[in-house]
């Protein structure tokens, strides 16, 4: 991951209207330092710093964050940094930080989330959102580092990971915000992706008062079954010596090309991006080697390979005949081959089975079967599945949800998001136009897992995907505009730079459609322009 700190947002800040707020501090620095004696339940203040805009915070000095990858973080506004430890039980605690803009506060509160099975305060998200004037909190989700080893022998750490860390951070964070500014926040927001997307929906389902607006990307919903689906791939493709193994080169040179041959044009233009992978019923049999011929590594696949590829692109069912998880969407295989198909056991999944499901550090991911999936889904500790369709309490409290999912996601199949959206629709008995009042779901073509990809993936969901703070081009400011001005999004606009390099200029701009609509190209010659597309 690239935690680039080169993006200064200061010039953009001028564009953001300050919400009405009495929280104007006469001496933001002195008020900040006074927070060091603040007394809050279960909370120890580790340190408090008032930092000027442009500070390059050295994180390795404060924390041992090696596995999280954060070395330093540049901030773009003056801010009060409060670092805390909050006990969540007799044998668990979260590390929590609040980054409170000193002079640029908009009256808004925001919580960031986490990723994978970490363990990591997402400092780039904190810099991004505090830089936009949000009083921001971030927590370590109850343990440190990117692995799930701390779950072993301690279900309180699992509890923190499932929902207690973030909710605790929100409760404490709102109190600190009020202490600092002398007035409570006006609106409360959430921004997260992946596990962070799941945490956003956990708040929607279980803590409906926590937020007015939730931006949830690529959510790791149905978490125990997601961990099972992630464990499946190693057992499908195996090791490099197995007949079913498909090499990285075959994935990109053969399988991905054949998927594009079969499906790229369905949306009206052959541009390397599949707008709606649900329409792609990929036939890997097209790649079968001629009878009797040995599998040809550059031009065709053997029988066992084709069988495994078909399974990866098929919905995955359990011992009880019920869906475990939908299939991997076609289109993501260049990256997915490095994450899943050729990479050996998926570490997050192995951690979940070893340290949570079986309490056995020697559990072997090569032995995984759908029996294990059943054991895991029956456990569902602390309701980590996050799979409730009744979100009417959130609706009734006036909350809004902007849900997005990259259609090239190589880690969490984008096909799980419509399954959840439709569960909500059936459970609350609202059709799409009624759900639009408070819950909108966007399929972002050509976007990988939270970032990257072959399409117009820059939607401002992270610091590194910001092109503008105009609400149409920035999902976070889009949510603010929806919550505070009632401007609900019809589409969200993404951009791609030439070679993903801003200096080389804009390659393409595309409006991504609100589900269940899908994008169709009506002017193939101009496919890089948003006018060439229509949501139908």
Ligand X SMILES: *[C@@H]1O[C@H](CO)[C@@H](O)[C@H](O)[C@H]1NC(C)=O
Active-site residue list: 194, 409, 449
Fill in the per-residue mask, 304 to 343: x = in contact with ligand X (CB under 6 A), - = not in contact. Answer: --------------x-x-xxx-------------------
Residues 386-415 vs ligand X: string with x where CB under 6 A? -x----------------------------
| Minimal CB distance residue for ligand X | 152
Selected binder of ligand X within 31, 227, 377, 519 (CB under 6 A)? 377
Count the neighbouring beta carbons within 10 Å of the beta carbon of residue 120.
Answer: 23
Instruction: Indicate if the alpha-carbon torsion angle 458, 463, 468, 472 is positive or negative.
Output: positive
Which option in ligand X, Ca ion, none does residue 512 bind, with CB closer than 5 to 8 A by kind?
Answer: none
Give the contact letters, 121-150, x = binds to ligand X (CB under 6 A), - = no: ----------------------xx------
Residue 97 phi, psi (nearest 5): -125, 145
Strand partners, 217: 193, 404
Beta strands at 56-58 and 72-74: parallel, antiparallel or unpaired = antiparallel
Continuous H helices in 23-76: 28-34, 59-62
Residue 64 or 531: which CB sits closer to Ca ion?
531
64 or 285: CB nearest ligand X? 64
| CB nearer to Ca ion: pick between 263 and 391 | 263
Phi and psi of 155, rounded to 5°?
-70, -15
Least distance CB 251 / Ca ion (angstroms): 19
Q: Closer to Ca ion at the Cβ: 132 or 456? A: 456
Placement of tokens 């707020």 in the chain: 21
CB of 78 to ligand X, least distance (A): 17
Give least dist CB 244 to ligand X, A. Answer: 9
Q: Cβ closer to Ca ion: 409 or 464?
A: 409
Build a one-symbol-per-residue string for 254-283: x at contacts with Ca ion by CB under 5 A, - elsewhere. Answer: ----------x--x---x-x----------
Number of residues that bind ligand X (CB under 6 A): 48
List CB contacts of 325: < 8 A, sequence separation 6 or more.
Answer: 222, 225, 226, 228, 229, 315, 316, 413, 416
Nearer to ligand X, 60 or 396 (CB): 60
Rounded to whole angstroms, how far apart are CA atoms 237 and 312? 9
- The least CB distance from residue 75 to ligand X, in Å, is 11
Helices (H), 253-369: 256-263, 303-312, 333-336, 347-351
The listed partner (ligand X, Ca ion, none) that binds 264, CB under 5 to 8 Å by sort, is Ca ion
Rounded to whole angstroms, the Cα distance separating 66 from 167 reads: 26
Q: Which of residues 427-456 bind ligand X (CB under 6 A)?
A: 431, 433-434
Does the CA dihedral 433-436-440-443 come out positive or negative?
A: positive
What is the nearest approach in angstroms of Ca ion to the Cβ of residue 271? 5
Task: Give the x/- contact pattern for ligand X in 74-93, rule: CB under 6 A.
Answer: x----------x-x-xx--x
Residue 168, helix vs strand vs coil: helix
* Interaction of residue 374 with ligand X, rule CB under 6 A: yes
Strands 79-89 and 519-521: unpaired
Distance of alpha carbon 82 from alpha carbon 49, whole angstroms: 7
- Cα 19 to chain centroid distance, Å, stands at 27
Nearest to ligand X of 355, 457 (CB atom): 355
Instruction: Answer yes or no whether residue 225 interacts with ligand X by CB under 6 A.
Output: yes
* Nearest-angstrom CA–CA distance, 92 and 164: 11
Strands 187-193 and 108-112: parallel
Cβ at position 451, least distance to ligand X in Å? 20
Site string for ligand X, 270-309 (x = CB under 6 A): ------------------------x-x--x----------
Give the residue, chosen from 29, 34, 49, 72, that forms a contact with ligand X under the rule CB under 6 A: 72
In whole angstroms, the minimum distance from the beta carbon of 433 to ligand X comes to 5
Report the C-alpha gap between 473 and 486 in whole angstroms: 17
Classify each residue of 157-183 as buried b or exposed e, where b means 16 or more C-beta atoms within 10 Å of its C-beta. bbbbbbbbbbbbbbebbbbbbebbbee
Q: Answer with the entry of ligand X, Ca ion, none that 371 interacts with (C-beta below 5 to 8 A by kind).
A: none
* Three-class DSSP category at 277: helix
Q: 267, 275 in Cβ contact below 8 A? A: yes
Cα angle value 176/179/180 (rounded, 5°): 85
Signed CA dihedral, 394, 325, 332, 233: sign only:
positive
Among 166, 373, 480, 492, binds ligand X (CB under 6 A): 373
Binding to ligand X by residue 206, rule CB under 6 A?
Answer: no
CB of 403 to ligand X, least distance (A): 17
* Residue 163 vs 267, nearer CB to Ca ion: 267
Token readout for 362 is 């020697």
Residues that bind Ca ion (CB under 5 A): 264, 267, 271, 273
Residues that bind ligand X (CB under 6 A): 5-6, 41-42, 56, 58, 63-64, 71-72, 74, 85, 87, 89-90, 93, 95, 143-144, 152-153, 222, 225, 234-235, 238-239, 242, 294, 296, 299, 318, 320, 322-324, 355, 359, 361, 366, 373-374, 377, 385, 387, 431, 433-434
């Amino acid at each position: 991951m690239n935690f680039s700190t080169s993006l200064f947002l200061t010039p953009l800040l001028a564009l953001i209207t300050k919400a009405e707020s009495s929280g104007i501090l006469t001496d933001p620095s002195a008020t900040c330092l006074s927070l060091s004696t603040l007394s809050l339940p279960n909370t120890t203040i580790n340190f408090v710093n008032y930092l000027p805009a442009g500070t390059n915070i050295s994180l390795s000095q404060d924390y041992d964050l090696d596995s999280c990858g954060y070395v330093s973080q540049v901030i773009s506004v003056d801010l009060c940094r409060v670092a805390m430890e909050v006990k969540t039980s007799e044998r668990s605690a979260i590390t929590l930080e609040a980054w409170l803009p000193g002079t640029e506060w908009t009256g808004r509160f925001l919580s960031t989330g986490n990723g994978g099975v970490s363990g990591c305060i997402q400092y780039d998200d904190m810099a991004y959102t505090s830089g936009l004037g949000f009083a921001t909190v971030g927590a370590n989700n109850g343990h440190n580092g990117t692995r799930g080893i701390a779950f072993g022998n301690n279900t309180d750490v699992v509890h923190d990971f499932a929902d207690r860390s973030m909710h605790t951070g929100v409760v404490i964070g709102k109190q600190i915000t009020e202490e600092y500014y002398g007035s409570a926040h006006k609106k409360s927001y959430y921004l997260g992706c992946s596990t962070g997307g799941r945490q956003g929906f956990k708040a929607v389902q279980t803590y409906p008062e926590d937020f007015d607006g939730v931006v949830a990307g690529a959510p790791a919903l149905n978490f125990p079954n997601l961990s099972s689906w992630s464990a499946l791939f190693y057992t499908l493709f195996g090791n490099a010596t197995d007949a079913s193994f498909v090499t990285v080169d075959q994935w990109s040179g053969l399988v991905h090309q054949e998927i594009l041959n079969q499906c790229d044009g369905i949306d009206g233009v052959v541009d390397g991006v599949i707008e709606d992978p649900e329409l792609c019923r990929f036939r890997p049999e097209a790649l079968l080697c001629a009878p009797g011929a040995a599998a040809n590594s550059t031009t065709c696949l053997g029988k066992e390979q084709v069988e495994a590829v078909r399974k990866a692109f098929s919905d995955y069912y359990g011992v009880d005949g019920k869906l475990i998880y939908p299939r991997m969407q076609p289109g993501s295989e260049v990256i997915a081959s490095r994450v899943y198909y050729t990479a050996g056991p998926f570490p997050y999944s192995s951690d979940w089975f070893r340290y949570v499901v079986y309490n056995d550090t020697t559990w072997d991911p090569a032995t995984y079967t759908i029996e294990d999936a059943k054991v895991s889904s029956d456990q569902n500790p602390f309701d980590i599945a996050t799979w409730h369709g009744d979100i009417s309490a959130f609706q009734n409290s006036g909350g809004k949800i902007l849900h997005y999912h990259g259609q090239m996601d190589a880690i969490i199949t984008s096909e799980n998001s419509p399954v959840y959206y439709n569960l909500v629709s059936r459970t609350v008995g609202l059709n799409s136009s009624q759900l639009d009042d408070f819950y909108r779901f966007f399929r972002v073509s050509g976007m990988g897992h939270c970032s990257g990809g072959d399409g117009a993936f820059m939607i401002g969901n992270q610091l590194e995907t910001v092109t503008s703070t105009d609400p149409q081009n920035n999902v976070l400011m889009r949510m603010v505009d929806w919550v505070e001005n009632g401007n609900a999004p019809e589409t969200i606009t993404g951009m791609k730079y030439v070679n993903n390099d801003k200096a080389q200029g804009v390659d393409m701009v595309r409006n991504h459609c609100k589900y269940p609509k899908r994008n169709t190209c009506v002017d193939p010659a101009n496919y890089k322009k948003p006018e060439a597309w229509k949501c139908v």
